[in-house]
A and B are shown apart, each in its own frame.
Chain A
Amino acid sequence: MKPRDNLMTYQSKTKARLHAINVLQQRNSRSKLWGLGVFLTMSVAMGVSSILVGNVIKFSKANILLSSKQPLLVPILVNGVLLSLYLALLASAGISKEYDKGTLETLMVGPVDEISFVIGNFLAHLKVFGLTLLAALGWSYLCIWLLNFSPRPDIIALLFANLFMASELIAFGVLTAVWGGKTKNALIYFILIILFLSGIQLANSVVASIVQIENAHVGNSLILVRNVLTTTNRFIQWISPYSQVRYAMQSILDQRYFAYLLSMGLMVLQTALLLIGSVLSLKKKGVRGIV
């Protein structure tokens, strides 16, 4: 048996992979864009941010999020938080559905490998997020124009922070899908992990405020709880994209550009790790979920 003469070079393999990524990305993003969910989530985001902006304008002393400095960043932030979460869920559901139903098998028999499948799906959802971000930006500028605010030049930096936050969440959605296998499991993993992390953050702030208020009276045990929570919380803040994007936004408002870049770098690093983890576990589990 003579080996095929056209064994692929590294370069042609990369080219083939990029092609697969592109085709998968197009199909997925198109189907998501036609879906009602994205528009609904966007409308909710715009609605919520309109109320917030309205409040800020009415009671300009109220300190809602970063709005005291720039109310018009609110739409972008609210849009970012809601849509990144929604799209990460969609990514998780979409991938696990392919896994579950066996359409992934059909793809992988053809010119698709684990890397192109994971990246293709990731990019599709990120692309949709990017488009909604542009819509939010448009909305912001409309407000700026209507309300006679002066536009901020650093808005682009904030957009990027949002984009990176979404990329981390979507990559997280991809990983839970690969882990969960079945759509139901994937979503449960996704929601549980998010709830757990935000639960700790919430508990931390509650306990911290109690400890602060009743400083003199609290016992040692509560102090211990607070310390554990604070430490855990500090760790979560490093991995939570929401905390990171808050830092990034705060840094840019304070003109601390190095801190901004640090947050961005951290989000990129975590996205990369999540994606690599997804590819490796998909390789390990196999397309049929059997080792």
Chain B
Amino acid sequence: MKTGLTVETKNLTKRYGNFTAVNHLNLDIKAGESYGFLGPNGAGKTTTLMMLLGILKPTEGEVRISGELVSSDAFNTKGLIGFVPENQSFYEEMSAWEYLMFFAKLYQTERPKERGQEILEHLDLWAWRDVLISGYSNGMKRKLGFARATIHSPDLLVLDEPIAGLDPLGIIQIRELLMAEQERGCTLLISSHILSEVEKTVNRVGIISKGKMVWQDTMENLQQWVTEKQHITITLSSVDNEIIAGFRSLPFVQEVISEGNSLCLVMDQAGDYREDISRFILQKNLILLEMKEEKTTLEEAFVNITENNVQDLTGETER
């Protein structure tokens, strides 16, 4: 197994005129890690990746790939990186096979034919290898982009919105490909605006919003944070302050938020409290109209985080 590359940025900043697309970003991605780089549209993900790859020049700050400063003639490092851009363009007049073999040669791949066949077969493109790329569908081009980016078995794979435009089978195929690369020791850096998209593939996530890192932690911690609390909303025929105080006094209830005749009970995740709640309602002779459990999804958490609510919740926000 080989060691993946590391990615490190210090105060990475990109300004377009007065507009700051990326704002003093500090990344520290370890070798072999699978890092999810998340943020809503326009957060600065693509801009950051382009600076990491040496395509865009930072306004301020620096990027180091395994300790080496990024520059256009850092052939050694660049030869070890694979990149799938957001919108890829191809040499449409080439067949997929010619295209792959051109890049295999450029990257001085060992056993290019075997490797090319392996990848194309995995992606169901083998039968299409001699078709001109201009005849490919969007999804097929997307897959071919993956094939190109992994033909040389890279040590760092950078993916910008990797599964946009793929069908479910395609997503699974790509995910398998990524897993295989990761098992080999390759560092993965995956950008996305959908958390669930990378949930299964990444171990650590960094969330940026308006060019700034607003949250960075392991996937496990994020999930734990999201699922720490459960919410149950009950609707009663009538609600008064005494009733609210009564719910508050229950040992398992942490907080009660009232809205009209509805009460939202916030509780820990330790058990199923629905029975206790029902019993309490019966005891107080209240009439229950509705009870429903509300699950916070990762996606909602993500929206929360990017809307900057996260500061109050975690205190971990970088300034």
Chain A residues near B66 (CB-CB < 8 A): 3-4
Chain B 273-312 against A: per-residue CB contact (8 Å), 1 yes, 0 no?
Answer: 0000000000000000000000000000000000000000
A114 and B79 contact, CB distance less than 8 A: no
A109–B6 contact, CB under 8 A?
no
A286 touches B55 (CB 8 A): yes
Q: Does any Cβ of B come within 8 Å of A177's Cβ?
A: no
Partner of B107, one of A8, A103, A110: A110
Closest chain A residue to B8, Cβ basis? A1
Cβ-defined partner of B55 (8 Å) among A1, A2, A3, A109: A109
How distant is B247 from chain A, measured CB to nearest CB, in Å?
53
Interface string of A258-282 (1 = CB under 8 A from B): 0000000000000000000000000
Looking at the complex, which one of A6, A111, A291 makes contact with B78 (CB distance below 8 Å)? A111
Chain A interface mostly helix, strand, loop or mixed? Answer: helix
Given the complex, which residues of B lie within 8 Å of A72, measured CB to CB?
A: none
* Nearest CB in chain B: distance from A116 CB, A: 9
Chain B interface secondary structure, helix, strand, loop or mixed? loop
**Given A109-B83, A110-B81, A288-B55: A17 and B72 within 8 A (CB)?**
no
Chain B residues numbered 57-94 whose CB sits less than 8 Å from any CB in chain A: 57, 64, 66-68, 72-79, 81, 83, 85, 87-91, 93-94
Q: Which of A1, A110, A290 contacts B106 (CB 8 A)?
A: A110
Asked if A286 and B64 sit within 8 Å, CB to CB, the answer is: no
Q: Is the CB of A8 within 8 A of B90?
A: no
| Residues in A whose Cβ lies below 8 Å from that of B88 | 102, 106
The reply to whether B78 and A110 contact each other, CB–CB distance below 8 Å, is yes
Q: Which of A8, A27, A114, A286 makes the CB contact (< 8 A) with B76?
A: A8
Q: Inside 8 A of B105's CB, which chain A residues have their CB? A: 23
Instruction: Tell whether, in the assembled complex, residue B78 and residue A4 are in contact, meaning their CB atoms are under 8 Å apart.
Output: no
A16 proximal to B (CB < 8 A):
yes
Cβ contact within 8 Å between B73 and A17: yes
B56 an interface residue at 8 Å Cβ cutoff?
A: yes
Residue from the set A8, A103, A110, A286 with the largest chain B CB neighbour count within 10 Å: A110
Would A113 and B75 count as touching, CB distance under 8 A? yes
Task: Let me know if A8 and B74 touch, CB within 8 A.
Answer: yes
Within B227-282, which residues are at the interface with A (CB < 8 Å)?
none
Would you give the shortest CB distance from B307 to chain A, in whole angstroms? Answer: 30
Are A110 and B72 interface neighbours, CB within 8 A? no
Near B by CB (< 8 A), chain A positions 101-145 give 101-103, 105-115
Contacts of A103 in B (CB 8 A): 89-91
Are A288 and B78 also in contact (CB < 8 A) when A109-B55, A114-B72 are? no
Q: How far is the CA of A288 from the CA of B88 in the complex (A)?
A: 13
Residues of A within 8 A of B68 (CB): 3-4, 7
Q: Which of chain A's residues 1-51 have a Cβ closer than 8 Å to chain B?
A: 1-4, 6-8, 12-13, 16-17, 19-20, 23-24, 27, 31
A184 cross-chain contacts in B, Cβ below 8 A: none
Chain A residues near B106 (CB-CB < 8 A): 20, 23-24, 107, 110-112
Q: Which of B67, B93, B102, B107 contacts A1 (CB 8 A)?
A: B67
A20 to B, closest residue via Cβ? B106
Contacts of A101 in B (CB 8 A): 89
- B53 lies within 8 A of chain A by Cβ: yes
Are A111 and B75 in contact, CB atoms less than 8 angstroms apart? yes
A260 to chain B minimum Cβ distance, whole angstroms, is 37
Chain A residues lying within 8 Å of B53, measured Cβ to Cβ, are 109
The interface of chain B, by Cβ under 8 A from chain A, is 6, 8, 50, 53-57, 64, 66-68, 72-79, 81, 83, 85, 87-91, 93-94, 102-103, 105-108, 148
Q: List 17 A-B contacts (CB under 8 A).
A: A1-B8, A16-B79, A17-B75, A23-B102, A102-B87, A105-B85, A106-B83, A106-B85, A106-B88, A106-B89, A108-B54, A108-B72, A111-B79, A113-B73, A113-B75, A114-B72, A283-B72
State the A residues within 8 Å of B (CB). 1-4, 6-8, 12-13, 16-17, 19-20, 23-24, 27, 31, 101-103, 105-115, 283, 286-288, 290-291
Q: Which 10 A-B pairs have the closest CB atoms?
A: A3-B67, A16-B75, A111-B79, A101-B89, A113-B72, A113-B73, A109-B83, A111-B75, A102-B89, A4-B66
